[in-house]
Structure 1
Amino acid sequence: MPADAKKLVKKATQLMKPVEKFDCETRKKTTTGGDTITFDYMWATHLSDEDFEWVFDLFKLNMLEMYQKSQWGFDENSKRNELRATTSRFIIALNEEGEKIGYTTYRFVVDHNIPVTYCWELQILPSYQNKGIGGMMLDTLERLSAKTNMEKVMTTVFLYNAPSLGFFHKHGYVSDITCPSDDSGLDYAILSKETP
């Protein structure tokens, strides 16, 4: 593994408040319905128990059935640990009343010898979907990726999750070089977008 990829990821991971430090919050703050969205940024380990339960409940609301029918299956303890990993960070979207309406969790990782920003989850309340909020959070991740010298933003999507596949494709994400082939028998795709 190239030492510089490891170094870049280590350096990015140690940043306390990277979005604020590099001023890379999305410039888009208004939904298609005209609502103004604000964002909170925090480490997974800094989430209150109440906030973490909200994160987990939204994950289950949107994804439980998909995980249950996936080859991975659903393991609650494993998913809780994944969401609360010490290297995970959150971008939490808030509506005009200050209510939490969605989040993305991401990590800086070395993937196949390349430093990347990995979008682990992107979950939005059903009533706020298709209003541009996910795109705002992706925009922040892409800007952050550029500022921290990560080569691309990556994500994993179930092949039968058509809305999610459509969302990422709309935002310029394509099958990554590491994506399983069509005849692999696997039920997920790995997508990426190179950092500008």
Structure 2
Amino acid sequence: MPVDAKKLVKKASQHLKPVEKLDCETKRNTTTEGETITFNYMWATHLTDDDFEWVFSLFKSNMLEMYQKSQWGYDENSKRNELRATTSRFIIAINSKGEKIGYTTYRFVVDHNIPVTYCWELQILPSYQNKGVGGMMLDTLEKLSAKTNMEKVMATVFLFNGASLGFFHKNGYVSDATCPSDDSGLDYAILSKDTPNQ
């Protein structure tokens, strides 16, 4: 399996437009209030500087305090490099006025010898949270995971981020086999959802 896992991840990572080519876009495209949302898909390396600064600004406004109180701490340069990594892929949500309202960044990786789609960040403007936008992006990731033969979608969430834990649980994510135990003293959980059968 390990050799296959590496091959599958390499192949998935080489797709230039995986969501479009493999027809993985979510069929859900309206918020709970009926607004139509569209999505742009791109590699991190193809983001314009303005787009990247918007991505980073949203990450920072949503997550800075959480990172500062976490065991990881906050390192701005490290986070910028992480978001702009050559293996990072983006789904950017656009509202009916053409404004960016959220994004998820993901990577195809081998995790404990298993090929997975890792949801690295999922950030949405506060005014668009709890309206179904995040669920739409997860739906696309799950479809993409199936089409690229990844075994599951994974995410790491701070234990004190109740809203995020609730969101992932609501969408069917559970503690992964690799999740730290309750008595580990660590302040994050690793969640996953098996890739749906096609």
- The TM-score range, normalised by the shorter chain, is over 0.9
| 1:74 shift after superposition | 0.2
The number of equivalent residue pairs is 196
Q: Secondary structure at the match of 1:39?
A: strand
Residue matched to 2:51: 51
Residue matched to 1:37: 37
User: Superposition RMSD on alpha carbons, in Å?
Assistant: 0.6
Q: Secondary structure at the match of 1:71?
A: coil
Residue matched to 2:174: 174
Please tell me the residue identity of whatever aligns with 1:109: V
Residue matched to 1:87: 87
Give me the TM-score of the superposition, normalised by structure 2: 0.98
Residue matched to 2:160: 160
Q: Secondary structure at the match of 1:34?
A: coil
Please tell me the residue identity of whatever aligns with 1:103: Y
Please tell me the residue identity of whatever aligns with 1:78: S
Please tell me the residue identity of whatever aligns with 1:55: V
- Taking the TM superposition and a 5 Å limit, the aligned residue runs for 1:73-152 are 73-152=73-152
Q: Secondary structure at the match of 2:155?
A: strand
| 1:2 shift after superposition | 1.4
TM-superposition CA deviations, 1:147-173 (whole Å, max 9, x none): 000000000000000000000000000
Please tell me the residue identity of whatever aligns with 1:9: V
Q: Secondary structure at the match of 1:154?
A: strand
Residue matched to 1:64: 64
Residue matched to 2:24: 24
Q: Secondary structure at the match of 1:131?
A: coil
| 1:126 shift after superposition | 0.2
Q: Secondary structure at the match of 2:36?
A: coil
Q: Secondary structure at the match of 1:117?
A: strand
Q: Secondary structure at the match of 1:123?
A: strand
TM-superposition CA deviations, 1:96-153 (whole Å, max 9, x none): 0110000000000000000000000000000000000000000000000000000000
4+ runs deviating over 3 angstroms: none
Please tell me the residue identity of whatever aligns with 2:8: L
Measure the CA separation in 2 of the matches of 1:49 and 1:5: 33
Measure the CA separation in 2 of the matches of 1:76 and 1:3: 35
TM-superposition CA deviations, 1:43-65 (whole Å, max 9, x none): 00110110000000000010000
Please tell me the residue identity of whatever aligns with 1:151: E
Query: Any gaps of 5 or more consecutive residues in structure 1?
Result: none
Measure the CA separation in 1 of the matches of 2:93 and 2:19: 14
Please tell me the residue identity of whatever aligns with 1:133: V
